[in-house]
């Protein structure tokens, strides 16, 4: 600071001297030798070098804007090989990375062998150790003991040179062999092996996308930062961007070289540099110059209650409320984190005179749920671009998308067990109904229409025909909405919870159309319960719950699911004999356990399992094997499972299931 | 659903490239050194605009500026030297702005207003400084003692230093 003050004092003095010499040339008696002149030139060049060095070593300090265009992505099951392996390992844990992989694959192979190949557990262990479980020599050698077949010679030699590659190949061949046995193979042995070096956790961190800057100011606690009064919060006060840093090098080089070579043209070039340097320092964007409320944002939506998949136009108006020109405003609108921008850009760069406003539009694709637009991020710069300030402007808009409930074309496969209400579950007991059940001896009081008159004519006996009684079922549709159920085949496609909610809506409509009493529950981050009921009001409630309940948000919430508590709560609420339709992707142990537990407690469970597995990489394939195993285990336990593959509709999946069930 | 295209904004990139071409054209005819330094600078600047690299744009513009100075050292007339240096600075400014707009707002967004405002302001500064400097140079030749010039230059160096 002192050095600066000294430099400026001496500089002003020198300027004064030069003016004096211009006005009174005679006053300055001493003459300046050429060495002094050269000295000044060299000084200027040394300074220029310093300026250049500063520019080189300091990076620009510009605001990073959020990426609201893309919705929060979801991972695919098996993105992390280790997570899948841990499912096979259970409580066993080994420290070494490679041992863990080998052990995990070993237990996977054993489980598959015992499930599908009629081995007992010990036989399977022996077969894996001996390497006789598969024809693939690589896989056999990878998991096998000392006596297992060895892989061909050439790759073995290659393996000596590149151990990593050999190990990865072993992993890939083994997983393929296991998948082939489980019937979950795709037939390709290609695919990438991306064995993670360290264990990453967290939601949706797979995929090659750059980390998104999330700003979930729309909901949650951050909103509290906005007081009732303030329209904006300053997220970063004025700071230098460094855009013009180093421009004084132009002035210093020009002056230095100009003096040394005595060329007026070069000296004047230095003067150009002085001009720009002075311009860069004229930046005036102190915190006071952009008072709160000087920029306002308002937003209008093109549609009030869109259906999912509709494009909704969003029009944003930016107004300069201050009394000065705002030459450089860069805005990024707070698109809700679940919505994707379909068209246009939610960003704009504009310059506004006092009182003027500008609008920009973009379209978002509507998706089930209530979506609140977050605050608009503003980066305001001065004219020169060397100072900027960041803030968040408040503009709340809500887009509600409540899909209507459409019934299915297929009957819902319910299990035999029902309530006393008339409905569509066909029971084993005789009574009123449509389908023939049995004949019995006539008892006084039986209606005339039920007497088997043909038989009476033939034999003279009086008999009564009974039909299968049809009773209403009480059904609770349980949606698996735990954090781990937010999985999808690709990062930005609808995920398993979306599918589950959609299917739940259709099942609900179908069941309530046929007179069953239907309720809805979810296992997840928040308690979600709609007691079984019927009627129009109930239907509306169900529709709203499915669309807007916080437990079923279209983006995974960060809070951890309290699953054991929600199961206990659910059990307390269920009346005896209630049927459960549990919709879960079955991508971890929990889903199967939940279904079995409820079934054991006496609630007939049917599982509808959307299949989000893919076979891009080894982990994905193994995850598919694990899911198939779970499915088989459930079916063996007597729980019907509707395996709903990703590219078909729930109608098709149910139709296939019904057909198989009737045969 | 594609990721945001964060490459430098189009208009400012074009302005930057054109300014760089003018800077090279003004100085390149007067000396081989200027031609070489300017061409290298231009290529580097263009690559920086394509890749969105601020360092490349800065070094490229500096090359163009050195080209202008080289031409001046080898006795090029005053006007081309001034034009070359000014346009080198403008190319640098517009290029840096293009990259920053690209990073913050992406290519899809409508950013014409801030780009035009920014370039117009910088261009005006360039015109005014060159005009003032050249005007002083034309009116004040020969009359003043060397001491006045030396003192004013010293004052300029020190004041720049103090402001930096």
Question: Is residue A595 over pLDDT 60?
Answer: yes
Q: Each residue of A501-529: pLDDT tens digit? A: 999 999 999 988 888 889 999 888 778 88
CA B164, CA B153: separation in Å to the nearest integer?
A: 17
pLDDT-derived band at A123, boundaries 50, 70, 90: confident
Q: What is the pLDDT of residue A553?
A: 85
* CB-nearest partner of A263 from B75, B152, B162: B75
- Pick from A52, A6, A332, A55: which is nearest to B162 by CA? A6
A260 in contact with B at a CB cutoff of 8 Å? no
The verdict on residue B152 lying in a domain is yes
Mean per-residue pLDDT, A69-74: 80
Does the distance separating the beta carbons of A14 and B152 come in below 8 Å? yes
* A266 in a structural domain: no
- Across the A:B interface, residue pairs with CB atoms under 8 Å apart total 254
Is residue A217 predicted with pLDDT exceeding 50?
no
Q: What is the pLDDT of residues A408-426, one digit of tens each?
A: 877 887 776 545 455 556 5
- 3-class secondary structure per residue, A530-555: EEEECCHHHHHHHHHHHHHCHHHCCC
- The answer on A461 and A502 residing in a single domain is no
Interface contact A265, partner B, CB < 8 A: yes
Residue A523 lies inside a defined structural domain of this protein: yes
Give the rounded percent of residues in chain A with a pLDDT score beyond 70: 81
A175 and A139 part of one domain? yes
Domain assignment of residue B48, yes or no:
yes
Instruction: Locate the chain B residue with the closest alpha carbon to A45.
Output: B157
CA distances from A129 to A117, A140, A144, A153, A362 (A): 16, 8, 4, 21, 61
Q: What part of A 475-514 touches B (C-beta under 8 Å)?
A: 492
Interface predicted TM-score (ipTM) of this complex, two decimals = 0.93
Mean pLDDT calculated for residue range A533-552: 89
CA B47 to chain centre: 16
Position A543 in a domain: yes
Is A351 an 8 Å CB contact of chain B?
yes
Q: Cβ of A64 and B151 within 8 Å?
A: no
**Is there a contact between A75 and A206 (Cβ–Cβ < 8 Å)?**
yes
What is the predicted pLDDT for the residue at B124? 95
Give me the residue from A13, A36, A269 closest to B82, CB to CB: A269
Percent of chain B with pLDDT over 90: 60
pLDDT for position A10: 84
Q: Which CATH number goes with the domain that contains A360?
A: 2.60.40.10
User: Cα torsion for A45, A47, A48, A51, to the nearest 10°?
Assistant: 170
Q: Which chain B positions have a beta carbon within 8 Å of A269's beta carbon?
A: 68-69, 72, 81-82, 85
Render pLDDT for A256-267 as a digit per residue (tens, 0 to 9). 898 888 888 888
Are residues A566 and A648 both part of a single domain? yes
Residues A536 and A631 in one domain: yes
Note whether residue B74 is domain-resident: yes
Q: What are phi and psi of A147, to 5 degrees?
A: -90, 5
Cβ pair A28:B145 closer than 8 A: yes
* CB of A309 less than 8 A from some CB of B: no
CB contact under 8 A, B89 and A40: no
Cα–chain-centroid distance for residue A374?
A: 18
Determine the Cα–Cα distance for residues A265 and B34; give it in Å rounded to an integer.
14
Q: What percent of chain A has pLDDT over 90?
A: 11
Q: How many CB atoms lie within 10 A of CB A481?
A: 29
Q: What confidence tier does A218 reach under pLDDT thresholds 50, 70, 90?
A: very low
Question: Higher model confidence: residue A202 or residue B156?
Answer: B156
Do A335 and A386 have their domain in common? yes
| Partner-chain residue, chosen from B125, B150, B158, that has the shortest CB–CB distance to A10 | B158
Looking at residue A216, its pLDDT comes to 35
> Which has the closest alpha carbon to A82: A491, A612, A618?
A618
Q: Are A481 and A522 in contact (CB under 8 A)?
A: yes
Is the same domain home to A651 and A529?
yes
User: What 3-state class would DSSP assign to A663?
Assistant: coil
Confidence grade of residue A280 (pLDDT, cut at 50, 70, 90): confident
Note whether A502 and A648 are same-domain residues.
Answer: yes
Distance, in Å, from the CA atom of A628 to the CA atom of A84, rounded to the nearest integer, reads 13
d(CA B74, CA A164): 61
Average pLDDT over residues A560-574: 74
**More confident position, A186 or A370:** A370
- Kindly state the average pLDDT of the residues A451-467: 84
Contacts of B154 in chain A (CB under 8 A): 11, 14, 40
Domain identity same for A433 and A321: no
Q: Any alpha helices (H) in A92-217, and if so which ranges? A: 97-116, 121-130, 137-143, 153-161, 163-182
The answer to whether residue A57 sits within a structural domain is no
Question: Exposed (0-12), middle (13-18) or buried (19+): which is A404, by Cβ within 10 Å?
Answer: exposed
pLDDT in tens, A355-406: 899 999 999 999 888 888 988 999 888 888 888 888 888 888 888 888 888 8
Q: State residue A468's pLDDT score.
A: 65
Q: Do B104 and A37 touch (CB under 8 A)?
A: no
Side-chain-facing half-sphere of A558: CA atoms under 13 Å: 8
Closest partner residue to B81 among A266, A276, A281, by Cβ?
A266
Q: What domain range is A397 assigned to?
A: 221-237+288-401
What does the pLDDT read at residue A418?
45
> Are residues A558 and A618 located together in one domain of the fold?
yes
A525 and A462 housed in the same domain: no
Domain that holds residue B90: 10-163
Is the same domain home to A119 and A12? no
More confident call, A81 vs A373: A373
Distance CA A448, CA A464 (A): 9
Tens digit of each residue's pLDDT (9 = 90 or more) over A10-62: 888 887 877 777 777 666 555 666 787 788 888 888 888 888 888 888 888 88
Mutate to test the interface with A, among B7, B95, B156, B163 (most CBs of A within 10 A): B156
CA A431: distance to chain centroid? 52
* pLDDT reading at A201 higher than 60: no
- Identify whether B3 is part of a domain: no
- Neighboring chain B residues of A36 at a CB cutoff of 8 Å: 150
pLDDT band at B96 (very low <50, low <70, confident <90, very high): very high
Give the residue from A20, A265, A488 with the most B CB atoms within 10 Å of its CB, the best one to mutate.
Answer: A265
The CATH number given to whatever domain includes residue A502 is 3.40.50.410
Instruction: Point out the domain boundary residue: A339, A369, A401.
Output: A401
Total domains, chain A: 5
Q: Is residue B60 part of a domain?
A: yes
B104 to chain A: closest CA residue: A65
> Which DSSP symbol is given to A644?
E
Quote the distance between the C-alpha of residue A35 and its chain's center. 70
- Measured between its terminal Cα atoms, the distance across chain A in Å is 91
On whether residue A75 sits in a domain, the answer given is no
Residues in chain A closer than 8 A to B68 (CB atoms): 269
More confident site: A200 or A157: A157
Which residues in chain A have their CB less than 8 angstroms from residue B76's CB?
A: 265
Specify the 3-state DSSP secondary structure of A24: coil
Write down the pLDDT at residue B81.
Answer: 92
Which candidate, B155, B143, B164, B72, places its Cα nearest to that of A40?
A: B155
Phi and psi (nearest 5°) for B73?
Answer: -60, -40
Within a domain: residue B1?
Answer: no
Average pLDDT for residues B21-44, to the nearest whole number?
A: 92
Pick from A21, A37, A351: CB nearest B117: A351
Residue of B44, B43, B37, B46 lying closest to B65 (CA atoms)? B37
pLDDT at res. A284: 55
Q: Identify the residue among B114, B136, B142, B144 best suited for mutation to test binding to A, counting A beta carbons within 10 A and taking the highest.
A: B114
- CB-CB neighbors (< 8 A) of B31 in chain A: none
> CB distance B118–A385 less than 8 Å?
yes
Structural domain tally of chain B? 1
A526 & A603 share domain: yes
């Amino acid at each position: 600071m002192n050095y600066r003050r000294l430099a400026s004092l001496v500089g002003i003095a020198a300027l004064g001297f030069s003016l004096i010499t211009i006005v009174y040339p005679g006053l300055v008696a001493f003459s300046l030798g050429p060495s002094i002149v050269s000295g000044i030139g060299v000084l200027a060049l040394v300074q220029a070098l310093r300026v250049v060095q500063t520019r080189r070593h300091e990076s620009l300090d510009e605001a990073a804007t959020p990426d609201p265009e893309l919705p929060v992505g979801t991972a695919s099951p098996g993105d992390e090989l280790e997570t899948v392996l841990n499912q096979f390992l259970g409580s066993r844990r080994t420290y070494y990375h490679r041992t863990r992989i080998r052990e995990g694959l070993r237990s996977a192979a054993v489980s598959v062998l015992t499930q599908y190949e009629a081995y007992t557990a010990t036989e399977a262990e022996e077969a894996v150790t001996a390497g006789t479980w598969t024809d693939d020599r690589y896989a056999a050698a990878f998991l096998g003991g000392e006596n297992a077949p060895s892989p061909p010679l050439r790759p073995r030699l290659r393996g000596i040179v590149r151990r990593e590659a050999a190990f990865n190949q072993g992993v890939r061949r083994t997983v393929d062999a296991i998948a082939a046995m489980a019937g979950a193979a795709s037939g390709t042995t290609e695919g990438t092996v991306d064995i993670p070096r360290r264990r990453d956790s967290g939601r949706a961190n797979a995929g090659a996308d750059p980390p998104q800057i999330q700003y979930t100011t729309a909901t949650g606690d951050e909103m509290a930062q906005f007081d009732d009064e303030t329209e904006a919060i300053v997220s970063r006060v004025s700071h230098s961007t460094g855009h013009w840093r180093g421009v004084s090098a132009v002035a210093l080089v020009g002056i230095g070289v100009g003096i040394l070579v005595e060329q007026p043209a070069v000296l004047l070039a230095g003067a150009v540099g002085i001009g720009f340097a002075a311009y860069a320092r004229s930046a005036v964007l102190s915190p006071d110059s952009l008072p709160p409320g000087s920029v306002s944002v308002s937003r209008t939506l093109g549609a009030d209650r869109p259906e999912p998949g509709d494009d909704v136009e969003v029009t944003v108006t930016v107004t300069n409320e201050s009394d000065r020109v705002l030459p450089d405003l860069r805005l990024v609108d707070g698109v809700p984190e679940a919505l994707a921008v379909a068209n246009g850009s939610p960003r704009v760069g504009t310059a506004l005179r006092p009182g003027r406003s500008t609008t920009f539009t973009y379209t978002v694709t509507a998706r089930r749920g209530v979506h609140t637009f977050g605050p608009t991020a503003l980066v305001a710069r001065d004219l020169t671009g060397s100072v900027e300030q960041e803030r968040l402007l408040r503009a709340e808009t809500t887009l509600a998308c409540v899909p209507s409930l459409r019934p299915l074309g297929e009957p819902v496969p319910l299990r035999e067990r029902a309530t006393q209400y008339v409905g569509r579950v066909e029971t084993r007991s005789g009574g009123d109904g449509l389908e023939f059940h049995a004949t019995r001896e006539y008892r006084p009081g039986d209606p005339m229409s039920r007497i088997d008159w043909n038989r009476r004519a033939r034999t003279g006996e009086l008999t009564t025909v009974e039909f299968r009684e049809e009773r209403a079922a009480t059904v609770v549709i349980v949606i698996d909405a735990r954090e781990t159920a937010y999985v999808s085949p690709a990062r930005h496609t609808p995920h398993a919870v979306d599918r589950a909610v959609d299917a739940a809506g259709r099942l609900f409509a179908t069941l309530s159309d046929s007179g069953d009493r239907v309720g809805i529950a979810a296992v997840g981050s928040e308690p979600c319960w709609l007691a079984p009921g019927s009627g129009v009001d109930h239907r509306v409630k169900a529709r709203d719950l499915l669309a807007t309940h916080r437990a079923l948000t279209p983006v995974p919430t960060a809070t951890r699911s309290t699953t054991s508590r929600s199961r206990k709560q659910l059990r307390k609420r269920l009346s005896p004999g209630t049927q459960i339709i549990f919709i879960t992707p079955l991508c971890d142990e929990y889903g199967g356990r939940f279904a079995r537990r409820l079934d054991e407690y006496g609630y007939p469970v049917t599982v509808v399992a959307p299949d989000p597995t893919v076979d891009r990489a080894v982990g994905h394939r193994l995850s598919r094997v694990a899911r198939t195993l779970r499915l088989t285990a459930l079916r063996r336990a007597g729980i019907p499972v509707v395996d709903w593959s990703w590219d078909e509709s729930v109608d098709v999946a149910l139709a296939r299931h019904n057909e198989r069930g009737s045969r | 659903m594609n990721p945001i295209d964060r490459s430098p904004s189009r208009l400012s990139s074009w302005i930057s490239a054109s300014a760089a071409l003018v800077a090279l054209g003004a100085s390149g005819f007067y000396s081989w050194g200027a031609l070489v330094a300017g061409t290298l600078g231009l290529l580097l600047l263009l690559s920086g605009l394509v890749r969105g690299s601020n360092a490349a744009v800065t070094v490229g513009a500096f090359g163009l500026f050195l080209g202008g100075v080289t031409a001046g050292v080898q006795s090029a007339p005053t006007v081309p030297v001034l034009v070359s240096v000014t346009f080198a600075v403008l190319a640098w400014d517009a290029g840096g702005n293009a990259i920053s707009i690209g990073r913050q707002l992406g290519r899809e967004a409508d950013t014409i207003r801030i780009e035009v405002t920014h370039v117009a302001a910088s261009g005006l500064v360039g015109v005014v400084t060159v005009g003032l400097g050249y005007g002083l140079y034309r009116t004040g030749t020969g009359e003043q003692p060397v001491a006045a010039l030396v003192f004013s230059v010293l004052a300029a160096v020190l004041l720049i230093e103090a402001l930096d």
